Amino acid sequence: GISIIASVLLSQNLAALPAGGKFIHGSGSISKNGNTMTIKGNNKNHVIAWGGGFNIAKGETVNFNGSGKAFLNLDYSNKASKIRGTLNGGGNNIYLVNPSGVLIGEGGKVNNVGRFVASTSSLDKALTQFVNAAKQNGDQNAVYFSPVFSRGSLKGNVINMGTINANNIMLVGNVVRNLTSNGTKDVQGKYNNGSGANSLHIIGNKIFLDVEGVQNKKNIRLTGTNDVLNSTPKITVQMAMSTFRANGHKDWITKDYSIDGSQFGNGSYYVDRIITIGSTGGWNDFANAWNNNTGLTRQIEEFKLISNLDFKGVNFESVGKPQGAGFNKIFNGNGYKMLNITLDNNDASNNGGITIAGVFNKIGGGTIKNLTIDTINANINASADTIYLGGLAGQINGGTINNVTVNNIDLQGRMENTHASSWTNDNGYVGGFAGVISNNGNISINNVVLNNIKNLYLYSNQFTGSTMFVGGFAGRIANANGNSKTTINNVILNKIGILQNDVVTGMAANANIAVAGFVTELGSGNSISNASLYFDENTKFIPASVRDHNSDSRNRSKTFYYHTNGLGSSLSKINIYYNTKYTDTRYGPSADVGYNIVRINGQDRLYYTANGVINGIRNTALRGEIADGHYGSQDVNFYHYDAVSNDKGFEGEVKAWYPNITVSNYNYSWVKQERISNTYPMNSSLNTKDDYTTLINTYLPQIIDDILEANYGVTIEN
């Protein structure tokens, strides 16, 4: 009831400009001319109560005249203050208090202000605090006003999506941030706080500061306060990789805690740091800082792309190169692409005698999400007798991977031993997504697409009896280890091309050589579900043993996995989509539906189509996967087509199997752009009766007298 009385007595026309303004400390005038309001003060310190709200619509302007004065604006409307137009401070100090929130909207501007404060603290406390301080100073100097509050009193949010031009800026609220969503895009609010000693101070229960929106980055202070006892305030700081590097890879921003805005010091608060990457140079800075453990780099919680990165003609640096230093934080591709990546020997790392290479050489935990890698080529010569090579990662030891797409994959790994006496065994694992997936921690892989696996190749010139595995998705998935297992769900391998391993000399009888459409070695205790593989007219299975036209090597080619360990892993809803037409029987018995010859490096090589692998040779031991039940009772479904290619047909199946996937030119993806933040609401009715105590008891009688004396007009509209 009190709020209604005060609003009615103070209110004027509820227009796009501030309404119902009344000087209740100091004196002055408020005039309006069209879309412009002019506020003049006769004293040094002024308090204006706004019963109809302090709002400035787009295209509207509010001018505070004078210089070096202070204006405390109290919004009693019980609705958030929204500044979408222009506030010109005239060199004065401007304070705005509204418990329901303050929004500087997109395009909104606060200009030429000495000190600007926006707070959702108590109206009553702000009023008494300001007036008492003004009286103590003899009302001669502008009050350096910093609002105080009590625990739980900061309920409204302060959101800046516009520009604040002020020497010193203070924002106080429940949620305070300068980066938020506006429909389909993220909008950064700017703080142009000059240079030198000018400052930015933010107080809140939840703070999100994008440092790139701050002009003077040297004097930033973030204060956490908790809304309820024993809760922990959260401070999130985001900055560009270039800013992080320029400041020595350290966090220089002052952080502290306050329970009431009057005393500051140590207290409990959580800090979340985000580094943004918007250029190829920024990526390489990130990679080098991570690989060299520079400053606080490995303590950053999240790294995030903010634009596409095209590495065509630009050197690329892999992440996670040092021994034992796999990437274990959050990498958020944010819906953007990394294009035209080339991996060479400089990108590979030697981890305990294992050469590892990928965009991320090793992933040791954390999260990779919403990332597209578009065109990746690798030519890696192993510096050791073991190689792990993958499109995304050479090795995955733990973590979560969601919404990742890799397009146009051509990976070649070589083990060319020049010291035969020192290498008795060569071990190679190549996969379109990962070389090896090891269970040193739980691994969750969801919504991954590989479009156009052109070529996966593994070569050794000295092979004496170890392992060479090439898989469309991974070379090897290790056995589950205790509570650690690999869970894969929603994976598409679209257009699988050449899967080949090659041995030139020294092949032993016990050579463990194989190629497989999905994974060559599948450890036990893991789970794979909703995986779909499309074998088209370019599919060629070429295991090394077919060098001498040995058609029995068909046993070393499989469309899903080559072999599984122990009790095996759970397979559910596996779809094999393959071509029955594209085969050539000229080079084998007419009953053989799929072995052919291709000339590679001056040699004729046998290769098998998916049809040849699946159906095998009739009336022989090589009956194929369907006939001999290679996948047993596992849920593996075979779908065939008899055209040379059937991209359209596979698209139809994909849409039926995965209704939420994005389709473009027969390519598929689950990658999406994440909004940097949610849209934070400007709530109403957050005032309490205590906000009106001093106004009602002290100033309302004078307002009534002014009305009765016709010194103050009231307009009440519907």
Identify whether residues 473 and 549 lie together within a single domain.
yes
Residue 665 has pLDDT above 90, yes or no: yes
Cα dihedral sign for 146, 147, 149, 153? negative
Mean pLDDT of 660-682: 83
Model confidence at 146, pLDDT cuts 50, 70, 90, reads: confident
Distance CA 626, CA 692 (A): 80
Is residue 216 in some structural domain? Answer: yes
> How many independent structural domains does the chain possess?
2
Coil, strand or helix: which one is 129? helix
User: What is the model's pLDDT at position 555?
Assistant: 78
266 and 361 part of one domain = no
Measure the CA–CA gap between 531 and 518, rounded to whole angstroms. Answer: 9
Mean per-residue pLDDT, 553-580 = 88
Asked if residue 584 has pLDDT above 90, the reply is no
Alpha-carbon distance of 61 to 83, in angstroms, equals 10
Q: What is the pLDDT of residues 488-497, one digit of tens each?
A: 999 999 999 9
Do 250 and 120 fall within a single domain? yes
- Which residues are bridge partners to 563 per DSSP? 521
More confident residue, 506 or 172: 172
- In the prediction, which pLDDT does 596 show? 72
Residue range 98-119: mean pLDDT, rounded: 95
Q: What is d(CA 442, CA 433) in angstroms, rounded to the nearest whole number? A: 18
Instruction: Flag whether 103 is in a domain.
Output: yes
For residue 716, is it left (φ>0), alpha (ψ between -120 and 50) or beta?
Answer: beta
Residue type at position 294? T
DSSP 222-245: EEE--SSTT---EEEEEEEHHHHH
Residues 84 and 107 in one domain: yes
The pLDDT value recorded for residue 140 is 58
Check whether residue 161 and residue 234 sit in a common domain: yes
Handedness of CA 557, 559, 565, 567 (dihedral sign): negative
pLDDT band at 14 (very low <50, low <70, confident <90, very high): very low
Print the domain residue range for 167.
Answer: 2-273+678-708
Whether residues 459 and 512 fall in one domain: yes
Residues 6+ apart with CB under 8 A from 643: 579, 581, 649
DSSP tag of 478: P
Lowest mean pLDDT among 15-19, 313-317, 522-526: 15-19
What confidence score (pLDDT) does residue 717 get? 38
DSSP per position, 511-548: -EEEEESSEEEE-TT-EEEEEEEEEEEEEEEE-GGGGG
Q: Which helix (H) or strand (E) holds 135?
A: helix 123-136
- Tell me whether residue 486 is in a domain: yes
Q: What is the DSSP string of 249-273?
A: TS---EEEE-SSSS--B----EEEE
Residue 424 pLDDT: 56
Co-location of 342 and 264 in the same domain:
no
Q: DSSP code of 511?
A: -
Q: How far is CA 456 from CA 204, 317, 379, 548, 576, in A?
A: 53, 21, 11, 21, 19
- Reported as a pLDDT band with limits 50, 70 and 90, residue 718 is very low
Name residues whose C-beta falls within 8 Å of residue 331's C-beta, 6 or more positions apart in sequence: 302, 303, 304, 360, 366, 367, 368, 369, 371
Same domain, 665 and 697: no
Q: What is the CATH number of the domain that holds 20?
A: 2.160.20
CA angle 172, 174, 177 (to 5 degrees): 70
Q: Which amino acid is at 370?
A: N
Give 2: exposed, middle or buried? Use CB within 10 Å, 0-12, 13-18, 19+. middle
CA distances from 677 to 208, 253, 492, 553 (A): 9, 21, 30, 54
- Residue 714 within any structural domain of the chain: no
Note whether 445 and 471 are same-domain residues.
yes
- Residues 7-29 have a mean pLDDT of 76
- Residues β-bridged to residue 61: 36, 86
In a domain, 12, yes or no: yes
Q: Are residues 249 and 182 in the same domain?
A: yes
Lowest mean pLDDT among 299-313, 508-522, 593-607: 593-607
* Percentage above 70 pLDDT, the chain: 83
Q: Determine how β-strand 512-516 pairs with β-strand 467-471.
A: parallel
Instruction: Quote the pLDDT of residue 1.
Output: 42
Give residue 540's identity as a one-letter amino acid code: K
Query: Token pair of 268, please?
Result: 């409990």
In contact, 674 and 151? CB cutoff 8 Å: no
Residues making up the chain, counted from first to last: 718
301 part of a folded domain: no
Regarding whether 686 and 654 lie in a shared domain, the answer is no
Grouping H, G, I as helix, E, B as strand and the rest as coil, residue 506 is: coil
Q: Is 472 within 8 Å of 448 (Cβ atoms)?
A: no
Report the SS3 class of residue 612: helix
Per-residue pLDDT, 594: 60
Residue 419: partners with Cβ closer than 8 Å, 6 or more residues away? none
Extended strands (E) in 546-688: 557-558, 561-564, 570-579, 595-600, 603-608, 636-641, 662-664, 667-669
In a domain, 504, yes or no: yes
639 domain residue, yes or no: yes
Q: Both 543 and 507 in a single domain?
A: yes
Q: What is the pTM of this model?
A: 0.89
> Are β-strands 109-119 and 86-88 bridged in parallel, bridged antiparallel, or unpaired?
parallel
Residue 665 makes CB contacts below 8 A (sequence gap 6+) with none
